[in-house]
Each structure stands twice: as C-alpha cells, then as structure tokens.
Structure 1
Amino acid sequence: MNNFGDDLFGVVCTAAARKYWGGDPRLVCPAIQGVDARYTMPCWYPARLYGTSGPFGQVSRFCSFARALSGSDVLVMGGGSVIGGSSRTSFRRRMMVSAQKAGKLKLAAVGVSIGPIDNAEAEDDIADFVSRFDYIAVRDKRSYDLAVKMGVAEKTHLGRDLAGLLPPVAVADTPRSGPIRIGVAPCNYNVTNNNYAAPDKQALLSALTRELGRLAALRPLQVDIFSLNEHPAHGDYALSSTLERNLLQRGIPARVRRYRGMSPLSMVQAIGECDAFVSVRLHGAIVAYLQGIPLAIVDYHPKCRDFADEIGLPSALRIPTGDGLSTAVANALALMLSPGNEPTLSREVYSQQAQEIFKCAPWSVNSAVRASPMSFARPDLKAG
C-alpha cells in the first residue's frame, strides 16, 4: 500500500496470528513486498491502483473487503486510528456490521486507537459500533478510558501499538564511526482536518533546516530523510525532497530514503542505521524507540502525544506547535545526542506488553505460552 506504518501492521499481524491464534490470516490489501502471507487481492495487482481515489481504486477496495468477509471466522481491524468519527460513513463499517448482525463472523480490533471524537452524537455512534466487537485491544490509555466510558471494558484490553511486536534490537555499546547520522521522517498531515494544534509543516521544515545547519557547523552530520508514505497525493516525498534540497544548499550531506520499492523490514533496518531520529510519522518514532535510537517526536496528533506519554518520553523531546519551534528543535537535537535522556518505559517491557495484544484474545490458542520474540520472513522475501 506504499505506507510503511500500514504495511508494518501486515507483517506483525500475520506473524502474531499464526503464533498466538493458530490461524492462517488473509491480509485485506494487495501484496506487500517481503510479507509472506495470503491476500484478498491477486499478487500481481498493483498497490498504486488499489489506493487511488478513482473508480478502479474504489472497486478494488470494495471487492477486496467483500472477499475478506467471505469465509472468515473473525475480521480483525489491525492497527491505527481506525475507530473514530470519520469511520461513520465508511463502506467497510457498513459491511462489517451487516455481516456481524447476520452471524457470519466475529469482529475484533488490535492495536487501535479510539477517537478523537467530536461530539456526543459521534460518541454514541462509536459506542454502538464497538459494542459489536468480541475483542478490542487498544494502544493507549486515552482509548481505553473511552472504551470503559462506552461500556465495553469487559472486552477491551489495554495494550501497545502493533509495531511493538517487532523484537527489540540490541544497542551497540560503542558509538558508530563517521558522521552522526540523523534520521528525519516528515509527514504530509492536513492541519485543517486534524482538529489538533499542530506545527505548520513549512515552518517545521525551516526549523529543521536551520537547526541541523547549526549542528553541522559543530560536528560532521549525515541526514537521512525518510519518506514513509509514498501515496502520490497524500504522501511524504514532496516534503522530504524539499528538506533534502534545503540541506544540500547549506552544504549538509542529505539523502531521501523512499519506502517505495522496499519491504517493511528493510525500512526498519534503514531506520536502525541512524544515531538519532526526529519523527513526525508515529511509526518512525516507534521503530526508532524499539531499536534503542534516541528520538524526538513532533506532536501533530493525539496519537503522537499518547505514545510519548505511554513510554515516558521527556517533554523536551516532544516538539510542539508555537512560536518557539526552532528552539524546540534545537533543544531536542541537543538532548538526543546527550546520554541519560531515554524514555522511562523499557523497550523490552513494551515488546512483552505488545505480545499480550494477541495472547489475551478469547480465541488465542497459546495464552499459556511465555512471551517471546516472533520470527519474521527475511526482508528480501518476495510476496507470493
């Protein structure tokens, strides 16, 4: 689907469903490079066509979802901010509810957020929707509190983001040689649709350019800019290219690392090559955290704040909106490159709690198995 975060959900959900549920899951999407799984779309079907807004894309997604409903015992919403006011008009939701009412399958959600919710009417509507689920594992305390308020506490598990199912990587005792490698993951978010106080995207790019330039005057730098969403209209490549151009004009070595053509696990490895990571994209931040990379997150959405709260990220490593954007970026860069500013929640605990997402499901066949890292296909494995 050319979206790193969404594709990463496919990787971990496939492995976890096999290990903890004894199932052979189908992913409701076209084939993802490097993910050995069954799909609701033929392996030859182009992901770029599946995601378009035109009639071909719409028909593709409808047929894919209809196939998912056919012959499945449980339909699982896997990861993301997928239970909110914007889902009310979704054809997927209507199809899910219709199938559940007819007794054709059970509904579940793992590693999701609930909300944001705009008003009482929307809250009542979402409460009715989630009441139809047999199991919900949310990824943050705010969502759990909403689930309790909606009267579904008995079927709700407070877990972690699905990316936490990636096994933690051992942190090197000695620093890497050569220039400090700073990773940056922009996000082409829409402030007007966000309903959240988010930094202006261009102002953020300017602040990053300015402060990375100041840092480069003090020590050798290499800046890797990660375009994690490759959607032609809503993706991050244009922002990434602008930042690359700005840095190169200042004489700072920089390159864009595009997700297009990569597997999710290859991108995980690429993020792991960084010495510090500034992320607007949530899953850039989560993957950096799981690999023990010092990180700062841009607070553009409640899900970013929720993650920072859950892991105990120091406030100076959360880049907010406001007039002091350059100062916030400068402070975050300095703090990331200084020892002793790690999140308070250990990566190992986060990973163990993420496995409970699947182990606590009522149909888990491995609930008594000790939590352990899962095995994944090699990053270069071609989807069949």
Structure 2
Amino acid sequence: MRFFKTKIVFKGYYGQLNTGDDAFVEVGNWGVQHYWNVRDVRFLSRKENLPITVNPSKGFPLPIPKTYNLQQKLLIHNTEHFIFAGGSTFGGVPVGGIKDMVLRSKRKNKNIKIGAIGVSIGPFKSSLQEKRVAEYLKHMDFVSVRDNRSFDFVNSINLDYNPVNSFDLAALLPQIYQSHSTAKPQNQQNVIGVSICNYESYIKNGALDKEVRRNKFILNLLVDINRNFEGVFRFFIFNGNAEVGDEQLTREIIQKSGVRNYEIISYNRNTKTTWNTIKECDVMISTRLHASIFACFADVPFFLIEYHRKCTDFLNDVGYLQNYRLYDGDMEVKEASSKILEIINDPNAYMPPKNKLEMVEKAELNFTSIKIN
C-alpha cells in the first residue's frame, strides 16, 4: 500500500494527447515543487500517456493493465490532497463520477482535502448540474478559478472558505522554460501559426452550424492572407487524438485553402518543444484556446476565434485589444487579413494585451494563496 500513499493527487484531462492539458501537468508538477516544496505528487493517468515535462511527472504507480480503476481508488483513499488542476472541469457533477468518488472518500476519511486550482466554473449542462456544482464546492477546502466570471459565481454561493481569483496555469510556462524574447535572425522567413479544431463535433448536441461557419471563416482568411504573404504557414496539431483531434480538419483546410508553403507540427508530448515552435511564429491564428494562450505569454501576436465562453473570458481578463477581436468569426475576412498582414510587415504595429503581467501574477495565486500542510 505504500505505493499509493501520496501527498497530492492531481486530476484533469490528462494523458489524452492534448497540448493545452499537457501544460497543466507541466505547471502543476513544477508549481508544487517551486511554491509548496512538495515532490510527492501523482497525476491520474498512465505514466506513458503523460507529457514529457521539465521535472518528470508520475502517473499511476503500477503499469499493470486492467488495474487502473483500482489504482485510482487506492490513490484517492491514500492521498492527503486531491486537487482538480486546470481546465473547464466544473460544468457538472456526474453521479458516480470522479468528483462523487472523491467526496465519498472524504466523508469516510476526514483527513483528505479536496481543492481546485486554475479551473473554470461552468458553463453548466443544466440547472440541476449548476446546483450540484454549487453544493459540491461547499464540500471542498479551497478553489482557485481562472476567470472573473467563475469568480463571480463562487463568490455568490456563500462558501465557508475564501475562493481565489487567479488565472490560467499556462501563464506560468515562461517561468518554467526561462523564456525570454529574442531578436529574429535577419532574412528568416515570416511564419504564421494556425491552430484549429472541430469543437462542436465532439461534444454532445454541438452547434454544428457554428462550426461550419467558423471553419469557413478560417478557410477564407487563409486564402486572403495567402494572396499577399510570402512566408510559411505553420499548422499546429494541439490535439493528437485519432478520433476527436485536429489533424483531419487541419489537412482539409490546407487542401481547400490552396496554400503551398506550409508545414504541419504534429502533436508532441514534449510541451516545451511545442512552446518553442510557437515562439518562433510572427502571428498565431487559432480556434484552440491554448494555442492563443501559449502565443500570448510567448510574446507572439495572436488572433483567437471565440468558440467557447472560456475564450471570451480569457480575452477579457488579459485585456485584449477590442480592435483585434475576431469574436466567433464575425470580423470581415478582409479586415482580419489586413490586421494580420500589417503586423507581419511591421511587428511594432501590434499592441499586446494590457493585462499580461497582471495575469502572470494572478496565475501564481493558484499556488501562493493556498497552503499545503
């Protein structure tokens, strides 16, 4: 049983070939050591599925097939802190799900503490789920949310503890990677990063008409930019899952757009490699939220399609210039193309989000505002 005694167990959408969630593993694993001086931490995922992180991450203790559900239960029962870390993980509390399981364990073992850092609360799947989430939060020991809208919600339900108004964990990646801006080598060709996804296709009852419109906007935007752009388009596969990932859509968009000078950056388990490849771009155009978050904090100009409330929350909180907002693909294509090409031709024309430094400080609150005994 000693294999399963752990100071902290982290839960999120880990080990699913998704770069955005890989970033939460990177930051969570670094943060517990840097801020809390804790090294005894595990992530609920198979070790081979976890990303390659600066500080090696630990998953399930034993690599034995068909035992992972049992190992999950043993880890929950034997940990001191169970923490949901990163992402939109509080849209509901499914009966019999992991949240349910952890709370039942807490009721049996009063010593376990349940918390969350860098999460969004909502949007809710139903009014019932909203009530269940509110009730669940009251049983937790601490919550740190990544956007103002979530903070307004947790503040409205009279918790016995003080919730923390923080920010997305990925804003701390520059500290981990010791990332600093560097001058671009002369005569290096310009690079436009692109990251797209079919979000509506892989959620229940997704708005497929909106997805078709978004993809058409991206397609027309690339076609228009390509007429006046002599550099390379760099397409990022942020989600490498064979069923719900980005590759098929990305290849379709490339083929339909007619761009010839392009490269495809496949999903990479090494998050730092993806970060560095984005940092080389002159501009990022994305539907994937974390492609824009990476770009933002790597000091790369970015344009984000607001396909989800979390995208809008991010842009609002970081202080993104209204003049650059694509909204949900609502800006005129030629206007968007003109703004992007203006930045390509004159990088000094770009006005970065005004709250970036403040958001890095708020991201640190995920760790500095919470005490782990």
- Please report the TM-score for the alignment, with normalisation by the length of structure 1: 0.81
Alignment-derived partner of residue 306 in structure 1: 313
Distance 1:107 1:318 in 2: 37
Structure number with greater CO (CA < 8 Å, separation at least 6) is: 1
1:232 paired to 2:242: yes
2:265 is aligned, of 226, 246, 257, to: 257
* 1:165–1:354 contact (8 Å) kept in structure 2: yes
1:30 paired to 2:38: no
Give the CA deviation at 1:332.
4.9
Distance 1:64 1:317 in 2: 47
Equivalent positions of 1:1-384 (< 5 A) are: 1=15, 2-23=17-38, 24-31=40-47, 32-35=50-53, 36-40=56-60, 42=62, 62-85=69-92, 87-89=93-95, 91-102=97-108, 103-152=110-159, 154-167=161-174, 169-173=179-183, 177-190=187-200, 193=203, 200-247=210-257, 250-260=258-268, 262-321=269-328, 326-327=333-334, 329-334=336-341, 336-337=343-344, 339-346=349-356, 348-363=357-372
Distance 2:229 2:167 in 1: 37
The AA in structure 1 aligned to 2:58 is R
Which runs of no fewer than 5 residues in structure 1 stay unpaired? Answer: 46-55, 365-384
* 1:137–1:158 contact (8 Å) kept in structure 2: yes
Distance 2:203 2:148 in 1: 23
* 1:167–1:351 contact (8 Å) kept in structure 2: no
Give the stretch that moved more between structures: 159-168 or 206-215. Answer: 206-215
* Change beyond 3 A, Cα 1:302–1:41: farther
Distance 1:216 1:239 in 2: 19
Distance 1:246 1:221 in 2: 19
Distance 1:126 1:137 in 2: 15
* 2:213–2:329 contact (8 Å) kept in structure 1: no
* Change beyond 3 A, Cα 1:90–1:313: farther
The AA in structure 2 aligned to 1:91 is G
Give the stretch that moved more between structures: 220-229 or 112-121. Answer: 112-121
* 1:216–1:252 contact (8 Å) kept in structure 2: no
Distance 1:329 1:153 in 2: 47
Give the CA deviation at 1:104.
4.6
Alignment-derived partner of residue 49 in structure 1: none
Taking only aligned residues, the RMSD between alpha carbons, in angstroms, comes to 2.7
Distance 2:223 2:276 in 1: 26
Give the CA deviation at 1:243.
2.1
The AA in structure 1 aligned to 2:272 is L
Give the CA deviation at 1:335.
5.8
Give the CA deviation at 1:20.
1.6
The AA in structure 2 aligned to 1:38 is K
* 1:318–1:332 contact (8 Å) kept in structure 2: no
- Please report the TM-score for the alignment, with normalisation by the length of structure 2: 0.84
Distance 1:5 1:319 in 2: 21
Which runs of no fewer than 5 residues in structure 2 stay unpaired? Answer: 1-14
* 2:138–2:160 contact (8 Å) kept in structure 1: no
* Change beyond 3 A, Cα 1:263–1:108: same
Alignment-derived partner of residue 3 in structure 2: none
The AA in structure 2 aligned to 1:181 is V
Distance 1:273 1:60 in 2: 42
Cα-to-partner distance string for 1:5-59 (whole Å, 9 max, x where unaligned)? 11111111011011222222111112224220221154x67xxxxxxxxxx8xx6
Cα-to-partner distance string for 1:336-361 (whole Å, 9 max, x where unaligned)? 43514211113x33222211210110
Distance 1:125 1:96 in 2: 15
The AA in structure 2 aligned to 1:214 is D
The AA in structure 1 aligned to 2:311 is C
* Change beyond 3 A, Cα 1:210–1:81: same
Alignment-derived partner of residue 8 in structure 2: none
Distance 1:332 1:197 in 2: 28
Q: In the comparison of the two structures, how many residue pairs are matched?
A: 346
Distance 2:328 2:91 in 1: 24
The AA in structure 1 aligned to 2:236 is F
* Change beyond 3 A, Cα 1:335–1:202: farther
Cα-to-partner distance string for 1:179-198 (whole Å, 9 max, x where unaligned)? 32000111220169588989
Give the CA deviation at 1:173.
4.6
The AA in structure 2 aligned to 1:207 is F
* 1:130–1:152 contact (8 Å) kept in structure 2: yes
% same residue: 23
The AA in structure 2 aligned to 1:166 is L
Cα-to-partner distance string for 1:297-347 (whole Å, 9 max, x where unaligned)? 11000000000001111234332336656346425524643514211113x
Give the CA deviation at 1:233.
1.2
3-state SS in 2 of match to 1:313: coil
